[in-house]
């Protein structure tokens, strides 16, 4: 029986193969780093092209860069392409919801004007990182559960820091769009927000020094086709510092700053910070998702996700 080896961190792509990041280049000329190191998916420039405009659009959360367009842009909190992968969106923390209440919403209900057109276009690559992550995990689960016969291990490559940036963009959307709430009040009106860290990350494509990104697995049976989103509030600082996303057998949490109680929502689930390997273990075969991170080429963190067939 072919299984992903916990003590070996190999990948199947040869130097002349097409790069698994779908860039169109060969693996050698794209995400391949050096012998003995895992690949790295580069983050493209996220700054708007051309000269700085000097304009700060009042509806754009990137306004302090003074590089906005005069045209505003209405967009989905969660990338529309990602929403199309799910039948329902399960949302918590809406202004009209009581604590702990969850409701489902159509994608068309989850839009707001939170970016100018110039910054919306510049940040579009971040949405693609999020989409590739969801696609890879859905494919990994489908493959591992798709047969009770053994087979080769399915491999895929995604950007870990790209996914973290997507979660920051999601956090900004639900905060400044007025969708995140607690105790009946909008978080944008009642909580502080680490805007400096957000703007720096979404301008430079780098992660804040005190940022956190965790993945937890083995959450039990989760209904297929659902995605759940909610804010993470640091009560001690009265600050909206992060976002939680749960779908399938895993859960993400990302914070822009170090909260007073790190990963408070995930502690009992034994989360892993910035894993390099996600191994999805099915009844007879496995899938391996490699997450690339800057500066962690020799450090490997492996998280095993055990999958159980659902009736």
Average confidence (pLDDT) over 241-266: 77
**Residue 111: Cβ-neighbour burial (10 angstroms; 0-12, 13-18, 19+):** middle
Q: Would you list the domain boundaries of the chain? A: 88-109+125-306
Which of 235, 189, 193 has the alpha carbon at shortest distance from 61? 193
State the pLDDT at residue 1: 47
| Model confidence pLDDT, tens digit, residues 114-149 | 999 999 999 999 999 999 999 999 899 989 988 776
Q: Which two tokens stand for residue 229?
A: 């989103």
Long-range contacts: 138-144, Cβ < 8 Å, 24+? 138/85, 138/248, 139/287, 140/278, 140/280, 140/287, 140/288, 140/289, 141/248, 141/249, 141/280, 141/287, 141/307, 143/280, 143/282, 143/285, 143/287, 144/280, 144/281, 144/282, 144/285, 144/286, 144/287, 144/307
Lowest mean pLDDT among 105-109, 151-155, 191-195, 240-244: 105-109
More confident residue, 36 or 280: 280
| Model confidence pLDDT, tens digit, residues 182-238 | 776 788 888 899 999 999 999 999 988 778 899 988 665 545 567 778 888 888 888
Residue 287 pLDDT grade (very low, low, confident, very high; cuts 50, 70, 90) = very high
State the pLDDT at residue 235: 81
Q: Is 192 helix (H, G, I), strand (E, B) or coil?
A: strand
**Per-residue pLDDT at 262 exceeds 90:** no
Distance separating alpha carbons of residues 172 and 256, to the nearest angstrom: 10
Distance separating alpha carbons of residues 251 and 46, to the nearest angstrom: 26
Lowest mean pLDDT among 168-172, 216-220, 245-249: 216-220
pTM of the model: 0.89
């Amino acid at each position: 029986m072919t299984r992903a080896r916990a003590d070996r961190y190999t990948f199947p792509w040869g130097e002349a193969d097409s790069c698994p990041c779908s860039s169109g280049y060969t693996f050698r000329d794209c995400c391949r780093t050096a012998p003995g190191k895992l690949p790295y998916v580069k983050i493209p420039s996220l700054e708007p092209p051309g000269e700085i405009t000097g304009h700060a659009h009042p509806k754009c959360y990137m306004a302090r860069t003074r590089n906005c367009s005069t045209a505003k842009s209405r967009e989905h909190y969660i990338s529309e392409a990602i929403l199309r992968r799910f039948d329902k969106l399960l949302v918590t923390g809406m202004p009209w919801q009581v604590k702990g209440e969850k409701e489902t919403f159509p994608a068309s209900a989850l839009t707001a004007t939170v970016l100018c057109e110039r910054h919306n276009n510049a940040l579009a690559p971040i949405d693609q990182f999020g989409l590739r992550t969801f696609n890879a995990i859905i494919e990994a689960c489908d493959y591992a559960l798709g047969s009770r016969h053994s087979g080769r291990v399915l491999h895929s490559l995604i950007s870990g820091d790209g996914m973290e940036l997507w979660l920051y963009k999601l956090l900004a959307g639900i905060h400044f769009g007025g969708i995140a709430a607690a105790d009946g009040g909008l978080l944008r009106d009642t909580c502080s927000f680490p805007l400096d860290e957000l703007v720096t990350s979404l301008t430079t494509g780098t992660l804040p020094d005190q940022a956190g990104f965790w993945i937890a697995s083995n959450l039990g049976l989760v209904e297929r086709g659902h995605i759940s989103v909610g804010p993470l509030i640091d009560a001690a600082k009265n600050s909206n510092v992060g976002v939680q996303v749960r779908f399938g057998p895993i859960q993400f949490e990302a914070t822009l700053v170090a909260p007073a109680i790190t990963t408070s929502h995930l502690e009992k689930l034994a989360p892993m910070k910035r894993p390099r390997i996600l191994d999805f273990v099915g009844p007879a075969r496995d899938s391996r998702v490699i997450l690339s991170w800057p500066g962690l080429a020799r450090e490997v963190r492996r998280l095993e996700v055990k999958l159980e067939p659902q009736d």
